[in-house]
Amino acid sequence: MVNEALRLIRIFHDLKAKELAEKLSISQSYLSEIENNKKTPSLELINKYSEVFNLKPSTILFFSEQYDNLNLHGKEKFKSNIKKSVRKKIIFLLQSIENGQYY
């Protein structure tokens, strides 16, 4: 779910929703709707995210796909391990980006 991946990327970068909305040139309420899975971000908006966070759009989508795969392994187990698992994925993803390795 790309919505949750975008929210986690924002949180990882320690940005408040208002700050990110300004950087993306969208309203804070629209950002909230995206992060709460009420609206689907356009490819144009994902491109804006990639510029703000200095990530390739494909990296954002890859992270989203990996997040979705975690969610398939059982809701209860997922809930108890989500923070640990997501942190590991984010760290791996950011290290890969830093080292110029894209999977």
pLDDT value at position 63?
Answer: 78
pLDDT value at position 49?
Answer: 94
Question: Count of domains in the chain?
Answer: 1
Range of the domain at 84: 2-98
Cβ–Cβ < 8 Å for 97, 90: no
pLDDT value at position 27?
Answer: 97
Q: What is the domain-level CATH number for residue 89?
A: 1.10.260.40
pLDDT value at position 91?
Answer: 76
Give a yes or no: residue 103 inside a domain: no
Give a yes or no: residue 13 inside a domain: yes
Side chain identity at residue 9, one-letter code: I
Encode the chain (103 residues) as per-residue pLDDT tens digits. 788 889 988 998 889 999 999 999 999 999 999 999 999 999 999 999 999 999 888 888 887 877 666 655 555 555 556 666 777 777 777 778 777 765 5
d(CA 90, CA 59): 11
pLDDT value at position 12?
Answer: 86
Cβ–Cβ < 8 Å for 47, 57: yes
pLDDT value at position 15?
Answer: 92
Position of tokens 């392994």? 73
